[in-house]
Structures are given as structure tokens and as C-alpha cells.
Chain A
Amino acid sequence: METPERVHHSLDGHAILLAEDNEDDVFMMKRAFRKAQISNPLYAVGDGELVLEYLEGRGEFADRTKFPFPLIMFLDLNMPKKSGLEVIKYIRHQPSLQKLVINVLSSSTRGTDIDSAAVSGANAYFIKPTRIEKFQELIESWYNLAKFEAFPVSS
């Protein structure tokens, strides 16, 4: 049987990476995903260096069956070792990572941060809501759109 041509990926079943140093925020993200009944596997890393290690399958993330390459990453800007902006810049200069969808999720409302993220190559910028209800709402709204979205095939 001929396999259908893989032109686009849908969100179905693909891994989602959370780059977030605040454990509470990771907890709330995971809870919001669970509440929104999003079944994609979530992986979390806590600093900018680990983000790159994960994406490049290095070190403890070498086993791709345990740590699959993500389709989407939610990225905090304020992280130890390498900031979110540095991470974006690095990714956009790596041919093998260029198609990764990067959604910034930061509590920074500063125009300079939002601009720099866009210029560096982020796909979207979400401001972390202060209230947990809004957090939930954000993830649900994002998912309602993302499940209809077509994604580039990652190499």
C-alpha cells in the first residue's frame, strides 16, 4: 500500500516541549493541558541550555523514543543559562530546527521583549495570565485553533 504523501503534520499525538524554569508554572501548564483534555505528550525543561540539549537530542535526551522531537515549543523568556531570546536566535540559525513552532509564553509585557521575540523568529507571543482561570482559558483557546492548524514537517 502506498503511504500518503507527508505534506503537513497535524497536531495529533505530537510532543509539545515546555521551556520554563518556574516549576509552579510548569505545574499549571500541565494542569491546564489536562483540564483542556489535550492528550499530546508534554515534556518540560528548566533552562535555556537544556532546551537546546533536548532539541538536538544530546546528553540525557539522546533517546528519541523517550524524548521525541517536539512539533511545538512553549518558551519562557526569562530562563537561566540561556534566555528565551538566545534560544530563539540559536534555533533559527540551525537548519535542522528551523521549522520548530515557537510560542513564547512570558509574563513580560515590555514592548522591547515582544518586538525582539518577533524579530528573532518566534511564531507567537502570549503573555502569561496572572489568574489561573485565564491561564486555563488561554490554553483552551490556543488548542481550539491549533487542532485545525497545519504544521510544517520537521526534518
Chain B
Amino acid sequence: MTMDFSPSGSTSADSAAILILAPTGNDGPLTAAFLSEEGKFALVCRTMSELCQIAQQGCDMILLAEETLNPPSIQILRETLSHQSPWSDIPITVITSGGEASQERLRILSSLGTSANVGLLERPFRRGTLLSTVEVALRARRRQYQVRDLLVERENARAKLESIVQSRTAELRDTNAQLETLVYSIAHDLRAPLRSMQAFSKILIEDYGPNLDEEGVHYCQRIAKSSEKMDYLVLDLLSYGKTARSDMELESVSLEDAWRVALDQFEHDIHKLHAVVTSYPPFPKVHAHAATLTQILANLLGNALKFVADGVPPVIQFKAHEKDDRVRITIEDNGSGVPPEYHEKIFRVFERLHRDQREGTGIGLAIVRKGTERMGGRVGLESGPPRKGSLFWIELNKPPTLS
């Protein structure tokens, strides 16, 4: 526990408390009386323990006659001083008398070291000398009180600011949660009629197929396909929203694991398309959010498998190398490529390069960019002549090293 060592009331010089400890005799009371005449409030203590007890409640300075100094009393004083608040450094004046005994006591005093703010006043002295010594000490003490008041003010301002930040953060979190719920329920409500459209067009084919001619069946299939596509769109939008908003705690993530999960998702397509996917280990760890990284890699892999000329088996290479404190991950394909003028555009939501003969919602690469940026990384591509196909790269930070 720290004590304030400050008077509970005002800090003006009038009420300044000066604690005096003098050997038996009249020294103490006489000094106190003199200081009182000068408008100072002085209190004579009987023992060092009593002085220290009062000092803990608050005092402006301490006046000690050297005769009161001995190892036990110094010990009590040191203990009390060590409990001061950081701003407090009580001025102490020791009145000495010179001579052998004096030297010995002052040696004991030096054991206080730098923990005490001690000045000496040698007897005999004029009253004016004592008064000016006391004035200097009180002035220094007043400056300490000003520091204390500033510290309190600063602490109050900080606490106020902190509470404002806290309530704003809570409001934002609340709004975010409400928005998220709203988006979720909109998406949920949109998907239900889509499910019905899809289902009924299929039921129509299944149950009434024999009554429809080829064209009729074809129309039903187009209805089913469109509703299916819109469902993917809603799902991708939800996923984009999640990538853009959700809390993302970054940690050391195994790039190899994330890539393997992405590969597993496309196992069927890779097999069906006779794709050749080559990985070049070893893969360094990256500072990332595992689920987001996996989704980014899956989106890039999915594109590489999707956008190739008909009948051409996709050839995909996955590499990573370290560059300073970053890891550069590349996915290279033999696909149709992206003209340079579209390099920036394709990372925006709903931007697509290919017309409807290709599947795709125009959100996959937007998720790649948003996710990478939220993990403190960058994304880009190299494509266009003379390169055939595209090389998408993402740069992420290495995990911070534990020191």
C-alpha cells in the first residue's frame, strides 16, 4: 500500500504541516512557536514512530534534530519514506551541531542513501535562515502536489476516455452482431424460395417428364440450373461477408495443411479433369487464420481448375518461398489467362471475365483479396503474354518469432 503523504485539505502554505522531532527540552516547542508566528503550521512529535504515523496521513516537510538519529529511528524513517507515492519526495531538514558526535550521526543518516530528500542546517543559525530553509522546502513540496494533481487529472481523463472507448466498442459490436443476424436471416429467407424453385422444376421433370417434349424438359432444367446458381451466389455472398467482418485471430498456420485441405475439396474435380497438380515442398509456416487461408487457396485452386480451354487438362503448380519477413505463395496454371487491363478489376466483387458459359459468381477472388488483406497480406497476379496461363500470388507475414 502506498500512502499519499499529503494533507487531506488544501495545499496552501497556510495550512502546511511541518513535523518536528527534537530531543527533550524546549527546542521543539520553541521552533514550532516561531514557525507558527510566521504563519506555518508546525507539530512537535515525541518519537520517530509518532512522526512517521502522522507523516503517512500527510505532511509538507520534516524537521529533525540530529540527536534523534540512531539506527532504529533511521530504520523507521526509511521504511515510511519507501511507501511514498511516486510523485512524493518529502523534504527533510536535519539540524546539526557539528563536532565528533555529529559526524557519527550524519554517517548513520547517510544510510538513507538517495531514498530521502535531506538537507542540513548547522547550529547556530539565525531565525531568518531557518525560515528560508523551510520556505524552500515547502515550495518544492507544493510543486510535488501540482505534479500529483496533474497525475490525478491525467488518470481521470484516461479513465473517461477508456470508458468512452469501451461504450463505443460495445455499441459497434452490437451493431455488427445485429447486421450479421440481419444478413444471415435475409440469406436464409432468400434460399428457401430458391430451394423450392429448384425442387419443383426437378419434380416437374421427374413426375411429368413423359408429358413434356424435349424442349419443355430443357426449360425445366434451365430453371433448376438458374436457381442453383443463385443459391451459390447467396452462399458466396454470405462467405464474403464473413471474411470481411468476422473476428480473425492470426496465429502460426501450416501452409502445407491448408493446401492439403484445399486439395481434398477438389479431389473429385482433379480426377475428373485429369489435372496435374504439383506441389513444391517444403512450405514455411505463415501468420494467418487457418480457415480463411484454406478458403483462399481453395478459391485460387478452383479457378485454376475451372478456367482452362475445353479438353485441356489443367496443369497447376503450387510453390512458396520466403522473402525477408514475408512468405510468397504462388499458384500457376495453364489456363486461359487474364489480360493485364483486368488484373486489378477481377479482385472486385461481382467482376467476372467470362460470360455465363463459365460457372462462377464473381465473388471468389474478392474473398481471396479481402481475406489476404485482413491477414495483413497482399495479393496479385502475373498473366498475359508471353506467359501462358496465370500466376496468382499472395504474400503473407511469417509468424512472429517468440523472443
Q: Point out residues on A near B: beta carbons under 8 Å.
A: 22, 24-25, 28, 31, 78, 107-108, 110, 128, 130-133, 135
Contacts and interface: CB of A to CB of B under 8 A. Distances in A.
A24 B188 contact: no
A110 B198 CA distance: 23
Nearest to B227: A130
Given A107-B192, A130-B195, 5 more contacts: A128-B195, A130-B191, A131-B198, A132-B203, A135-B199
Contacts, number: 37
Interface in B164-207: 184, 188, 191-196, 198-200, 202-203
Nearest to A78: B188
Top-7 shortest CB links A-B: A24-B196, A132-B199, A132-B202, A130-B195, A28-B199, A22-B192, A130-B231
Contacts of B196: 22, 24-25
A107 B188 contact: yes
B203 A24 contact: no
Contacts of A25: 192, 195-196
B224 to A, nearest CB: 9
A130 B200 CA distance: 12
7 contacts: A31-B203, A78-B188, A131-B228, A132-B198, A132-B199, A132-B203, A133-B202
A132 B224 CA distance: 11
A22 B231 CA distance: 18
Nearest to B231: A130
Nearest to B184: A110
Interface in B43-76: none
Contact of B188 (A108, A130, A132, A135): A108
A133 B199 CA distance: 8
Contact of A24 (B184, B199, B202, B231): B199
B291 to A, nearest CB: 13
